[in-house]
Amino acid sequence: MKKRAGIELSTSTIVIVVLCVLMLILGTFLVKKTMCGAMAGVDSVNDLIKKEIQDLYSEQNNNVAVKELINEVTKSSYYGVGFGIRNEDKTVDTEFSYDVKVSDLGDCQITEADAESYIILGKSATVNIAAGDTYEDMIKFNIPKDAPLCNLKYEITVRNNDELYGSSRFEVIIKKASLIKSIMC
């Protein structure tokens, strides 16, 4: 009888330990996913960002507005830079095309091709903007772990019928990831 009780106790102890380990792993996974998601840059252009971009047209005195002219991005992270294009023609819908290119490598010891490879979405497009309306979108960056710590300048160039319509520059400052992000993400 005593041996049987000892076996039952060790079996239930093993089951409890296994369940605790599973809960610990699951909890760590959920915390990591939540923390890394919260530390990531902007994923989409929401209504608040659209309103802020609308206000920037007059402030930046341009048909092309960038939400943040200086963007601090950490290594091994995704980040979004919001921008907008305003169709000043109040009577005709117009087709615009835009390109995003590196305008200054600054202190980076990389090539233009490397710097442009950091852009994963929104590098160029053709859009039709209604008369007097605006278009807002996002340029998404993925900064790799091996990127140098430096400053880059990019330029959005907007064309209408192959003629320059407007442009705007913004800066991307690549910084070292925080200790928490380095460990968790």
Give the Cα separation of 49 and 69 in Å (integer). Answer: 14
- Residues 50-93 have pLDDT tens digits of 666 666 665 666 788 888 888 998 888 888 888 999 898 888 88
Q: Where are the domains of the chain?
A: 1-39, 42-184
* Per-residue pLDDT, 179: 64
Using an 8 Å Cβ cutoff, are 122 and 140 in contact? yes
pLDDT computed for residue 103 by the predictor: 92
CB atoms within 10 A of CB 115: 23
Q: Which residue has the higher pLDDT, 154 or 179?
A: 154
Neighbours of 119 (CB within 10 A): 19
Q: Rounded mean pLDDT of 139-143?
A: 92
For the structural domain made of 42-184, what CATH number should be given? 2.60.40.10
Burial class (CB in 10 A: 0-12, 13-18, 19+), 80: buried
pLDDT score, position 54: 64
Is the pLDDT confidence value at 185 over 90?
A: no
Q: Is it the case that residue 126 has pLDDT exceeding 70? A: yes
Asked whether the predicted pLDDT for residue 39 surpasses 50, the reply is no
pLDDT: is 120 or 185 the higher one?
120
